Structure 1
Amino acid sequence: MSSKELEKEVKRLVHSNRYLKGYVCAVDVLMQLNFLSESDYECWQLGKVDYLEGVCSVNLEKLTLVNKLIRRYAAELNLESSWTEYNQTGKRLSRRLRFSKSGNKAIEEQYATHYVDKKRMEELKENRSSI
Protein backbone atom coordinates (compact mmCIF):
# COMPACT_ATOMS: atom_id res chain seq x y z
CA MET A 1 0.00 0.00 0.00
CA SER A 2 1.47 3.35 -1.03
CA SER A 3 1.64 6.28 1.38
CA LYS A 4 -1.16 8.06 -0.52
CA GLU A 5 -3.40 5.00 -0.35
CA LEU A 6 -2.57 4.61 3.33
CA GLU A 7 -3.49 8.24 4.00
CA LYS A 8 -6.89 7.80 2.37
CA GLU A 9 -7.57 4.56 4.21
CA VAL A 10 -6.52 5.90 7.62
CA LYS A 11 -8.71 8.97 7.09
CA ARG A 12 -11.66 6.74 6.20
CA LEU A 13 -11.05 4.56 9.27
CA VAL A 14 -10.73 7.55 11.60
CA HIS A 15 -14.07 8.90 10.38
CA SER A 16 -15.70 5.46 10.52
CA ASN A 17 -14.48 4.66 14.05
CA ARG A 18 -15.49 8.09 15.30
CA TYR A 19 -18.99 7.55 13.98
CA LEU A 20 -19.43 3.89 14.97
CA LYS A 21 -17.67 3.92 18.35
CA GLY A 22 -17.35 7.58 19.31
CA TYR A 23 -13.58 7.28 19.52
CA VAL A 24 -10.50 6.35 17.52
CA CYS A 25 -7.50 4.36 18.72
CA ALA A 26 -4.35 3.14 17.01
CA VAL A 27 -4.86 -0.53 17.85
CA ASP A 28 -8.27 -0.61 16.15
CA VAL A 29 -6.92 1.15 13.06
CA LEU A 30 -3.93 -1.22 12.85
CA MET A 31 -6.25 -4.23 13.01
CA GLN A 32 -8.61 -2.74 10.43
CA LEU A 33 -5.65 -2.14 8.10
CA ASN A 34 -4.64 -5.80 8.62
CA PHE A 35 -1.28 -4.63 9.98
CA LEU A 36 -2.10 -6.40 13.26
CA SER A 37 -3.98 -9.69 13.49
CA GLU A 38 -6.59 -10.40 16.14
CA SER A 39 -4.57 -13.38 17.40
CA ASP A 40 -1.34 -11.35 17.70
CA TYR A 41 -3.26 -8.63 19.54
CA GLU A 42 -4.63 -11.21 21.97
CA CYS A 43 -1.15 -12.67 22.55
CA TRP A 44 0.13 -9.16 23.31
CA GLN A 45 -2.75 -8.57 25.75
CA LEU A 46 -1.89 -11.81 27.54
CA GLY A 47 1.76 -10.78 27.85
CA LYS A 48 3.02 -13.45 25.45
CA VAL A 49 4.53 -10.77 23.20
CA ASP A 50 7.06 -8.25 24.55
CA TYR A 51 5.83 -5.30 22.49
CA LEU A 52 3.05 -4.71 19.96
CA GLU A 53 5.21 -3.38 17.12
CA GLY A 54 7.03 -6.71 17.05
CA VAL A 55 3.94 -8.54 15.78
CA CYS A 56 2.76 -5.93 13.28
CA SER A 57 3.12 -6.96 9.64
CA VAL A 58 4.59 -3.64 8.46
CA ASN A 59 7.78 -1.74 9.18
CA LEU A 60 8.23 1.01 11.76
CA GLU A 61 8.07 3.69 9.07
CA LYS A 62 4.49 2.69 8.18
CA LEU A 63 3.51 2.35 11.85
CA THR A 64 4.86 5.83 12.53
CA LEU A 65 2.94 7.19 9.55
CA VAL A 66 -0.30 5.57 10.75
CA ASN A 67 0.06 7.17 14.20
CA LYS A 68 0.87 10.54 12.62
CA LEU A 69 -2.18 10.33 10.34
CA ILE A 70 -4.49 9.34 13.19
CA ARG A 71 -3.36 12.40 15.16
CA ARG A 72 -3.80 14.65 12.10
CA TYR A 73 -7.33 13.50 11.29
CA ALA A 74 -8.35 13.46 14.96
CA ALA A 75 -7.23 17.10 15.19
CA GLU A 76 -9.19 17.97 12.05
CA LEU A 77 -12.30 16.48 13.69
CA ASN A 78 -11.58 18.27 16.99
CA LEU A 79 -11.50 14.99 18.87
CA GLU A 80 -10.34 15.10 22.47
CA SER A 81 -7.21 13.12 23.27
CA SER A 82 -7.45 10.72 26.19
CA TRP A 83 -4.51 8.60 27.34
CA THR A 84 -5.63 5.03 27.97
CA GLU A 85 -3.75 2.53 30.10
CA TYR A 86 -3.22 -0.85 28.43
CA ASN A 87 -2.60 -3.59 30.98
CA GLN A 88 -1.92 -7.26 30.54
CA THR A 89 -4.98 -9.49 30.88
CA GLY A 90 -5.08 -13.04 32.15
CA LYS A 91 -4.15 -14.82 35.36
CA ARG A 92 -0.62 -13.51 35.80
CA LEU A 93 0.21 -10.32 37.64
CA SER A 94 -1.08 -7.33 35.75
CA ARG A 95 1.55 -5.13 34.15
CA ARG A 96 1.43 -2.26 31.71
CA LEU A 97 1.84 -3.42 28.14
CA ARG A 98 4.49 -2.00 25.82
CA PHE A 99 3.81 -0.89 22.29
CA SER A 100 7.39 -0.28 21.11
CA LYS A 101 10.70 -2.09 21.47
CA SER A 102 12.37 1.09 22.76
CA GLY A 103 9.65 1.87 25.31
CA ASN A 104 10.13 5.54 24.41
CA LYS A 105 7.57 7.55 26.39
CA ALA A 106 6.43 9.68 23.43
CA ILE A 107 5.90 6.62 21.22
CA GLU A 108 4.09 4.75 23.96
CA GLU A 109 1.78 7.73 24.51
CA GLN A 110 0.98 7.98 20.80
CA TYR A 111 -0.20 4.38 20.71
CA ALA A 112 -2.08 4.61 24.02
CA THR A 113 -3.96 7.81 23.20
CA HIS A 114 -7.59 7.46 22.22
CA TYR A 115 -9.32 10.32 20.41
CA VAL A 116 -12.84 10.86 21.68
CA ASP A 117 -15.87 12.60 20.20
CA LYS A 118 -17.85 13.28 23.38
CA LYS A 119 -20.94 14.42 21.51
CA ARG A 120 -21.00 11.24 19.44
CA MET A 121 -20.40 9.12 22.56
CA GLU A 122 -23.49 10.68 24.15
CA GLU A 123 -25.54 9.98 21.01
CA LEU A 124 -24.42 6.36 21.04
CA LYS A 125 -25.29 6.00 24.75
CA GLU A 126 -28.73 7.50 24.14
CA ASN A 127 -29.35 5.15 21.22
CA ARG A 128 -28.39 2.12 23.34
CA SER A 129 -30.61 3.15 26.23
CA SER A 130 -33.63 3.72 23.99
CA ILE A 131 -33.47 0.19 22.58
Structure 2
Amino acid sequence: MNNAALEKEVKRLVHSNRYEKGYVCSIDVLMQLGYLSQGNYEDWRRGRVEYLEKVCKTNLGKLTFINRLIRTYAIELNLKSSWTAYDQFGKGIKRRLRFSKSGDKKIEDNYSTHYVDVERVPELRENSPGIRKA
Protein backbone atom coordinates (compact mmCIF):
# COMPACT_ATOMS: atom_id res chain seq x y z
CA MET A 1 0.00 0.00 0.00
CA ASN A 2 1.46 3.37 -0.97
CA ASN A 3 1.62 6.22 1.57
CA ALA A 4 -1.38 8.11 0.14
CA ALA A 5 -3.62 5.04 0.36
CA LEU A 6 -2.19 4.18 3.77
CA GLU A 7 -2.93 7.69 5.02
CA LYS A 8 -6.59 7.42 3.94
CA GLU A 9 -6.95 3.99 5.52
CA VAL A 10 -5.35 5.03 8.82
CA LYS A 11 -7.64 8.07 8.97
CA ARG A 12 -10.67 5.84 8.37
CA LEU A 13 -9.53 3.40 11.06
CA VAL A 14 -8.86 6.19 13.58
CA HIS A 15 -12.40 7.51 13.08
CA SER A 16 -13.89 4.02 13.15
CA ASN A 17 -12.10 2.96 16.36
CA ARG A 18 -12.93 6.26 18.03
CA TYR A 19 -16.61 5.74 17.29
CA GLU A 20 -16.82 2.01 18.05
CA LYS A 21 -14.47 1.76 21.05
CA GLY A 22 -14.10 5.32 22.29
CA TYR A 23 -10.32 5.18 21.85
CA VAL A 24 -7.60 4.62 19.26
CA CYS A 25 -4.38 2.67 19.74
CA SER A 26 -1.54 1.60 17.47
CA ILE A 27 -2.00 -2.13 18.10
CA ASP A 28 -5.60 -2.09 16.86
CA VAL A 29 -4.71 -0.08 13.78
CA LEU A 30 -1.76 -2.36 12.92
CA MET A 31 -3.99 -5.42 13.25
CA GLN A 32 -6.76 -3.87 11.17
CA LEU A 33 -4.25 -2.95 8.46
CA GLY A 34 -3.04 -6.57 8.39
CA TYR A 35 0.51 -5.69 9.50
CA LEU A 36 0.10 -7.57 12.80
CA SER A 37 -1.68 -10.90 13.08
CA GLN A 38 -3.69 -11.96 16.11
CA GLY A 39 -1.32 -14.90 16.63
CA ASN A 40 1.80 -12.72 16.52
CA TYR A 41 0.16 -10.23 18.88
CA GLU A 42 -0.65 -13.01 21.36
CA ASP A 43 2.88 -14.41 21.11
CA TRP A 44 4.24 -10.95 21.91
CA ARG A 45 1.83 -10.48 24.83
CA ARG A 46 2.92 -13.84 26.25
CA GLY A 47 6.59 -12.85 26.01
CA ARG A 48 7.46 -15.27 23.21
CA VAL A 49 8.59 -12.43 20.94
CA GLU A 50 11.36 -10.05 22.03
CA TYR A 51 9.71 -6.91 20.64
CA LEU A 52 6.55 -6.16 18.62
CA GLU A 53 8.19 -4.63 15.53
CA LYS A 54 9.92 -7.97 14.93
CA VAL A 55 6.60 -9.61 13.95
CA CYS A 56 5.00 -6.69 12.08
CA LYS A 57 4.69 -7.38 8.36
CA THR A 58 6.00 -4.02 7.17
CA ASN A 59 9.15 -1.94 7.49
CA LEU A 60 10.09 0.45 10.29
CA GLY A 61 9.50 3.48 8.08
CA LYS A 62 5.85 2.53 7.56
CA LEU A 63 5.39 1.74 11.26
CA THR A 64 6.76 5.18 12.14
CA PHE A 65 4.52 6.78 9.51
CA ILE A 66 1.44 4.97 10.87
CA ASN A 67 2.16 6.04 14.46
CA ARG A 68 2.69 9.64 13.32
CA LEU A 69 -0.63 9.59 11.43
CA ILE A 70 -2.50 8.18 14.42
CA ARG A 71 -1.07 10.91 16.66
CA THR A 72 -1.88 13.63 14.09
CA TYR A 73 -5.51 12.53 13.65
CA ALA A 74 -5.94 12.09 17.41
CA ILE A 75 -4.83 15.69 17.94
CA GLU A 76 -7.19 16.90 15.19
CA LEU A 77 -10.07 15.07 16.92
CA ASN A 78 -9.12 16.44 20.36
CA LEU A 79 -8.60 12.98 21.79
CA LYS A 80 -6.90 12.74 25.17
CA SER A 81 -3.59 10.90 25.16
CA SER A 82 -3.29 8.19 27.79
CA TRP A 83 -0.12 6.15 28.26
CA THR A 84 -0.97 2.48 28.69
CA ALA A 85 1.27 -0.20 30.19
CA TYR A 86 1.65 -3.37 28.17
CA ASP A 87 2.70 -6.13 30.54
CA GLN A 88 3.24 -9.77 29.71
CA PHE A 89 0.23 -12.10 29.87
CA GLY A 90 0.26 -15.53 31.44
CA LYS A 91 1.66 -17.18 34.50
CA GLY A 92 4.89 -16.27 36.20
CA ILE A 93 6.77 -13.01 36.41
CA LYS A 94 5.11 -10.16 34.57
CA ARG A 95 7.47 -7.91 32.68
CA ARG A 96 6.92 -4.74 30.66
CA LEU A 97 6.79 -5.60 26.97
CA ARG A 98 8.87 -3.82 24.35
CA PHE A 99 7.60 -2.51 21.06
CA SER A 100 10.93 -1.70 19.38
CA LYS A 101 14.35 -3.28 19.13
CA SER A 102 16.02 -0.12 20.45
CA GLY A 103 13.64 0.33 23.38
CA ASP A 104 13.87 4.11 22.82
CA LYS A 105 11.42 5.85 25.18
CA LYS A 106 9.86 8.05 22.49
CA ILE A 107 9.20 5.08 20.20
CA GLU A 108 7.85 2.99 23.07
CA ASP A 109 5.56 5.84 24.14
CA ASN A 110 4.24 6.28 20.61
CA TYR A 111 3.13 2.65 20.51
CA SER A 112 1.77 2.50 24.05
CA THR A 113 -0.26 5.72 24.00
CA HIS A 114 -4.00 5.31 23.62
CA TYR A 115 -6.04 8.27 22.42
CA VAL A 116 -9.35 8.50 24.26
CA ASP A 117 -12.53 10.29 23.26
CA VAL A 118 -13.60 11.45 26.72
CA GLU A 119 -17.08 12.32 25.44
CA ARG A 120 -17.68 9.02 23.63
CA VAL A 121 -16.52 6.64 26.39
CA PRO A 122 -19.31 7.54 28.87
CA GLU A 123 -21.85 7.16 26.07
CA LEU A 124 -20.49 3.71 25.21
CA ARG A 125 -20.53 2.67 28.88
CA GLU A 126 -24.13 3.78 29.21
CA ASN A 127 -25.23 1.79 26.17
CA SER A 128 -23.19 -1.35 26.90
CA PRO A 129 -24.02 -3.13 30.15
CA GLY A 130 -20.82 -5.21 30.01
CA ILE A 131 -18.51 -2.19 30.16
CA ARG A 132 -17.25 -1.32 33.63
CA LYS A 133 -18.47 1.98 35.05
CA ALA A 134 -15.80 4.31 36.40
Whether TM exceeds 0.5 here: the answer is yes
Instruction: Give a deviation string over 1:26-53, Cα, whole Å, max 9, x none.
Output: 0000000000000000000000000000
Letter in 1 for 2:25: C
| Structure 2 equivalent of residue 127 of structure 1 | 127
Distance in 2, matches of 1:59 and 1:128, equals 38
1:128: how far off? 1.4
> After TM superposition, which residue ranges in structure 1, 4 or more long, deviate above 3 angstroms?
none
Q: Are 2:20 and 1:20 equivalent residues in the alignment?
A: yes
Count of residue pairs brought into register by the alignment: 129
Uncovered stretches (5+) of structure 2, i.e. residues with no partner: 130-134
Distance in 2, matches of 1:58 and 1:92, equals 32
| Structure 1 equivalent of residue 88 of structure 2 | 88
CA RMSD of superposed structures (Å): 0.5
Letter in 1 for 2:115: Y
TM-score of the aligned structures, taking structure 2 as reference length: 0.95
| Structure 1 equivalent of residue 70 of structure 2 | 70
Uncovered stretches (5+) of structure 1, i.e. residues with no partner: none
TM-score of the aligned structures, taking structure 1 as reference length: 0.98
| Structure 2 equivalent of residue 34 of structure 1 | 34
Letter in 2 for 1:14: V
**Percent of residue pairs identical:** 65
Distance in 1, matches of 2:90 and 2:128, equals 29
1:92: how far off? 2.3
Letter in 2 for 1:16: S
| Structure 1 equivalent of residue 132 of structure 2 | none
| Structure 2 equivalent of residue 56 of structure 1 | 56
